[in-house]
Homo-oligomer: A and B are copies of this chain.
Amino acid sequence: MKDFTKIEQEVADGVCDFIHVHEDIVKKVEKAMPEEQELLDLAEFFKIFGDSTRIKILYVLSQSEMCVCDIASLLMMGQSAISHQLRVLKQMRLVKFRREGKTVFYSLSDDHIQTILAQGMEHISE
């Protein structure tokens, strides 16, 4: 059995050898760090846009309000898949809906969403 020093053990654990960290930088940035939760929320927020089906749904809804079936036929996907994703978008308040008889019409909940889509599109076409 090999005998580790403290530092060797840290390295073996995959943790950085803190002696060689740039302490000044790390301490400065540490103070500027937001709440852990804020960054987690931010990741969750972007995650919504990080799926092609959801992006497509958001895109078509940016053009017009639409029922589930319209979206499914536009994207050539099953009704169930669309419905599941609409639930996610609903929970995150990216889309809203209104009922008209048997049909449910979905639309973007505010134009902030449209801005973000546009911002992203602008970025990738550079």
A29 with B124: in contact, given A42-B55, A55-B43 (CB under 8 Å)? no
Contacts of A34 in B (CB 8 A): 59, 121
Contacts of A54 in B (CB 8 A): 43
A1 proximal to B (CB < 8 A): no
Contacts of A13 in B (CB 8 A): 78
**Distance to closest chain B CB from A51 (angstroms):** 6
**Contact size range, A:** 35 or more
A22 proximal to B (CB < 8 A): yes
Cβ < 8 Å to B, chain A residues 91-105? none
Residues 50-62 of A, flagged 1 when their CB comes within 8 A of B and 0 if not, give 1110111001100
A112 proximal to B (CB < 8 A): yes
Residues 103-126 of A, flagged 1 when their CB comes within 8 A of B and 0 if not, give 000000000100011011101111
**Distance to closest chain B CB from A15 (angstroms):** 6
Cβ < 8 Å to B, chain A residues 68-110? 68-70, 72-74, 78-81
